[in-house]
Structure 1
Amino acid sequence: MNVKKVISFGKIKTDLTKYASTSSSSTVEGFGTFSKQISQNNFTDINEINPEDEEETRSLQEVMGMTSFGKKAKCFDVQEMLDNITKTVRSSKPVHSVPILGEQIHKSDNASSAIDEKKKTDRTNIDIEPSSVVPPNAKHQNPSICDQANNSDDDDDDEDEDGNNSDDSEDRQNTSSNKIPCSHEVEMHHGLKAVIAIAADPSGARLASGSVDYDVCFWDFAGMDTSLKSFRTLQPCENHPIKCLQYSMTGDVILVVSGAAQAKVLDRDGFEKCETVKGDQYITDMARTKGHTAALNSGCWHPYTKEEYMTCSQDSTCRIWILYKPRAHKNLIKCRAQNGVKTIPTTCSYSRDGSVVACGCADGSIQMWDHRKNFVNTSLLLRGAHKPCSEISSLSFSYLGNLLASRGCDDTLKLWDLRSFKSPIFTANDLFSRYDTTDCMFSPDDGMVITGESLRKGQTSGRVLFFNTKTFDLVNQICVTNSHVIKTLWHPKLNQIFVSCGNGVVKTYYDPKKSLRGAKLCVVKSHHKQKHIEIMSTQQIITPHALPLFRQDRPKSVRKQMEKDRLDPVKSHRPDLPITSGQGGRVASSGGTLSSYVIRNLGLSKRIEDDQDPREAILKYAKDAAENPYWISPAYQKTQPNTIFQSENEDDGPSSSKKQKT
């Protein structure tokens, strides 16, 4: 007996007995009830679509308005593409033309052949038509660039036809020299003596210069015109030459290191913020003194901690200070020679990340300490980096931090690799240095090392030299002026080079296309002369016997004349005086007091003149009161005695009736 089992889900019903017969005839795989039925009748025949049916379908879609739905496949006309390519090839020179493809090429290969043909055509146009490339404008050469320098064009040979970079040394030198912004120059006059310290703030808005004449000049590029005058000149350290200047990382304060034993910190306008304490000169152990006891040599700010700065001195110590705690140093570093005695640090510097403190000493050694540890033992030490008893005037870390450049008074410039700090990578000799503050520094891309050269006897101009860091070849050199070149500063943000000279001149080199702001703001502003007020002085002619009409007043002091004009209400424009009474005021007609107002409006109907004399006002009614008495006389008419007045003649003597004294 068959029972129908129906499973229903809502409105969907399925009869399980319907497939009973089909399941028995089908092949079963697997075991139990988990089996897979393989159906053999699931094949459908694919009928070929005839063109007539396709056209009928298209017409049906047009009638129903369904032709705009969906995206239509793009159709390419290969023959038209070949014709366009042929016209392009024929328009070029006929010698290097590409042959036209024939019609015998198979249609299936037309697309790839067209692409290859287009590539060939583009390469042919590039190779055979150099005249179509417009050459760049000629670079404005600066007349101060020396003739023996390696000049180069603006074009850079970037890649070969295969895509590989050119490895020739000449191409590398030309590429490096093109990065130097030296096409234009600006000259600023500090004074008459050597400028041995310059500093620019990180934003590039201001420049400070210090000289051996004790002056510090502040230059504001946004406020200067073509006259190029500093907006402020001061002597922060009295009679001491300025040896080092450096702005902090935020640019709000500047460190001034002079020949004195105390360093000063000034704000942007030149006002003193703090001064380091001076140590006790009679104490031998420098660790027991709170400050330097001898003249300073150099100083610098921490690259990341804005309150921390460092100074080195002739007392053979290097001290780290905190800006708002100038009464004592934070850390003390003692520089020692090879035999354990004291040696003088001539320059000091932080690494780019601030983790290393480096000092160049007078014995020619370079000593480094880890900033994160105590400053007892050195982390890197190299004796004989420069000649013994020759000062190291500058130490400069690269922006990447793995290279170190040192400039010494032994007329050398050396490049060191901190990863193998035993011998210099490159050395440049015969670089005369007269001043102990001659420095060196890296370019913003670490591709070059820049330094200055002092003027030798018989030479005509001091030079700024550029060395390649990879080969240490002389890339370029600039003849600055007929004096020594002491300080060089390549500002990374402005892309301008500042050079200080021994004749009191500070020069700025820039490129109008590659440089930003800075000196470019000054050269476009015209200098306006102040208009002088012309005063015609009149001669004073003294005529004591002249008539008052023609007599001239004697010149009086300005104070007396002002007091005289103050008393004149017309000249002094005196305002109206306040009302103190009812007499003579501005509202005298209406009465200045309450009583006058009440009498006029309530008591009497007649107008009372408040500005007249009270006695005259009373006597005005005497005659009327005598003729028509109303108040007093009628009241005392009956009881009032008769008045008897004594008559006295003026011609006669005194009256005889006058009682005599007894």
Structure 2
Amino acid sequence: MATKYADEIKKFFATNAKTRDVQAHTAKVHSVAWSCDGRRLASGSFDKTVCIYMLDRDRLTKDYTVFRGHGASVDQLCWNPHNPDQLATASGDKTVRIWDARTNKAAATVNTKGENINICWSPDGSTIAVGNKDDLVTFIDAKTHRSRAEEQFKFEVNEISFNKDGDLFFLTSGHGNIHIFSYPELKTLHVLNAHPANCICIEFDPTGQYFAIGSADALVSLWNLPELVCMRTFTRLEWPVRTLSFSNDGKMLASASEDLVIDIGEVETGEKLHQITCDSPTFTVAWHPKRNLLAYACDDRRDRDAGIVRVFGFPSDT
């Protein structure tokens, strides 16, 4: 039986289903993320650039800032959770760059030991964690831009994240496990056997009550904290789940993969609320921190998709 929330959100998407596109990059977009105040959207691309767009009421601005400086693909980016002008990027050029969105220059460049593929900011804004292709995770002081600690893992590390309180550090592994460490001690607290296949991505909901795991078995599992119990699974996708994002109220979960749809499910029940049809696989999604707007980018298998950032959820009559 559908919940009241499900009925309301379905009605909302019936009239707020317009997608707006911005052509910013010249190659595949790997990562999209909103600033903490929701005024800016950033994207990182295989073309080695980072683009920043301003959100107008019902559209993204056509005028955008392009950050250049990376010598290789920008694989992932994240915003400072407390400073809407500051973001960090992870690149295959063995650097992490910290940018000031008010300028077009890097505020800092941090050299690392390998080709970086994932990055996250601690909830208090003090630390940036970055993982590379050799499964080394480096913790960088966000003020001094120096390494605080390094941890070399002996298994495949896919994605990393702090919990909302910042006292736990999570990573997904190629063995289907979720490794949970105390932070900053980095002592192993739990190893969850979450999926029978590779665990690819992890995402925490804004309330800190749940986290979701996307797996190569095409399932999304929803876990609660602090019990670490799997509450339910989302089963509508048919390909390995590459990306996840919770809505600002924590009630919706978007997931995407090589399926030509983005699935939007209700967290409380698992019910399908909406799906966004895509022409190509989708590897990055991000809900706006205050509105029911979902940013995403598709693969560039079709020439017309190359370098395009999309935002879904604008009024259909605009």
TM class by shorter chain equals 0.7 to 0.9
Alignment correspondent of 1:638: none
Distance in 2 separating the partners of 1:345 and 1:230: 37
The one-letter code matched in structure 2 to 1:450 is A
> CA shift at 1:346, angstroms?
1.4
Alignment of structure 1 residues 32-47 onto 2, 5 Å: none
Q: Extract structure 1 runs of 4+ deviating beyond 6 A.
A: 224-227
The one-letter code matched in structure 1 to 2:166 is G
- The C-alpha deviation readout for 1:319-344, integer Å capped at 9, x for no partner, is 211123334x1123343xxxxxx013
**3-state SS in 2 of match to 1:369:** strand
The one-letter code matched in structure 2 to 1:398 is D
Alignment correspondent of 2:302: none
Alignment correspondent of 2:297: 500
Alignment correspondent of 1:415: 222
- The C-alpha deviation readout for 1:51-92, integer Å capped at 9, x for no partner, is xxxxxxxxxxxxxxxxxxxxxxxxxxxxxxxxxxxxxxxxxx
**3-state SS in 2 of match to 1:174:** helix
Question: Which one of 88, 97, 104 corresponds to residue 264 of structure 1?
Answer: 97
Distance in 2 separating the partners of 1:299 and 1:227: 25
Alignment correspondent of 1:394: 201
The structure number with the bigger radius of gyration is: 1
Q: Is residue 148 of structure 2 the alignment partner of residue 330 of structure 1?
A: yes
Contact 2:258 2:281 in 1 (8 A): yes
Contact 1:490 1:498 in 2 (8 A): yes
Q: TM-score, normalised by structure 2?
A: 0.86
Q: Superposition RMSD on alpha carbons, in Å?
A: 2.8
Q: TM-score, normalised by structure 1?
A: 0.43
**3-state SS in 2 of match to 1:425:** strand
Cα gap change, 1:241 to 1:178, in 2 (>3 Å): same
Decide which structure has greater strand share.
2
> CA shift at 1:387, angstroms?
3.3
> CA shift at 1:277, angstroms?
2.8
- The C-alpha deviation readout for 1:109-167, integer Å capped at 9, x for no partner, is xxxxxxxxxxxxxxxxxxxxxxxxxxxxxxxxxxxxxxxxxxxxxxxxxxxxxxxxxxx
- The C-alpha deviation readout for 1:20-43, integer Å capped at 9, x for no partner, is xxxxxxxxxxxxxxxxxxxxxxxx
Alignment correspondent of 2:191: 381
The one-letter code matched in structure 2 to 1:416 is W
Question: Which one of 237, 244, 254 corresponds to residue 87 of structure 2?
Answer: 254
> CA shift at 1:301, angstroms?
1.1
Alignment correspondent of 1:201: 35
Distance in 2 separating the partners of 1:227 and 1:367: 38
Alignment of structure 1 residues 451-530 onto 2, 5 Å: 451-455=255-259, 462-479=260-277, 481-502=278-299, 503=305, 504-512=307-315
**3-state SS in 1 of match to 2:111:** coil
Alignment of structure 1 residues 192-591 onto 2, 5 Å: 192-221=26-55, 228-238=61-71, 240-249=72-81, 250-268=83-101, 269-278=103-112, 293-304=113-124, 306-327=125-146, 329-335=147-153, 342-371=154-183, 374-375=185-186, 377-383=187-193, 385-388=194-197, 390=198, 392-421=199-228, 423=230, 425-428=232-235, 430-433=237-240, 438-455=242-259, 462-479=260-277, 481-502=278-299, 503=305, 504-512=307-315
Alignment correspondent of 1:537: none
> CA shift at 1:453, angstroms?
3.3
Distance in 1 separating the partners of 2:165 and 2:217: 29
Identical-residue share of aligned pairs (%): 19
> CA shift at 1:194, angstroms?
2.0
Contact 1:299 1:310 in 2 (8 A): yes
Structure 1 unaligned residues grouped into runs of 5+: 1-167, 279-292, 336-341, 456-461, 514-519, 524-662
Cα gap change, 1:179 to 1:209, in 2 (>3 Å): same
Structure 2 unaligned residues grouped into runs of 5+: 300-304
Distance in 2 separating the partners of 1:314 and 1:387: 22
Count, aligned residues: 309
The one-letter code matched in structure 2 to 1:248 is N
Distance in 2 separating the partners of 1:469 and 1:256: 29
Contact 2:237 2:257 in 1 (8 A): no
> CA shift at 1:228, angstroms?
4.7
Distance in 1 separating the partners of 2:228 and 2:130: 24
Contact 1:218 1:230 in 2 (8 A): no
The one-letter code matched in structure 1 to 2:175 is D
